[in-house]
Amino acid sequence: MAPAAVEALLEELGTRDYSWAAAWALVRVTGVDSAPFVALDAADPGERARSLDFWTRWWAENATSFRPVAEDVGAEALRRWRDRGGG
């Protein structure tokens, strides 16, 4: 995944319609399951803001060394993230 694609996902985190999908994709591609959970309906603006803040900081710290994780690692991270968030 190119850095521009990650940056596009960060932009989507601020929207109600696709923030859950962007958060899902970021967890899956990074293997980071400690991010704030975003519910499927993403109705809570605070939830979206917390997620955007987390991922913006994460990207600022990791952009230069970022490499997508293996598919199985990402899938496991997504499972843990969803279980923790109740999704």
CA 84 to each of CA 33, 42, 44, 73, 81: distance values in angstroms, whole numbers, following the listed order: 9, 16, 17, 17, 5
* Residue 18 CB-density burial (10 A; 0-12 exposed, 13-18 middle, 19+ buried): middle
Q: Quick one: pLDDT at residue 57?
A: 97
Q: Are 39 and 87 in contact (CB under 8 A)?
A: yes
Q: Quick one: pLDDT at residue 64?
A: 94
In tens digits, the chain (87 residues) has pLDDT values of: 678 889 999 988 888 788 889 999 999 999 999 999 888 776 778 888 899 999 999 999 999 999 999 999 999 999 999 998 876
| Whole-number Å distance between alpha carbons of 59 and 82 | 21
Positive or negative torsion for Cα 42, 44, 50, 52: positive
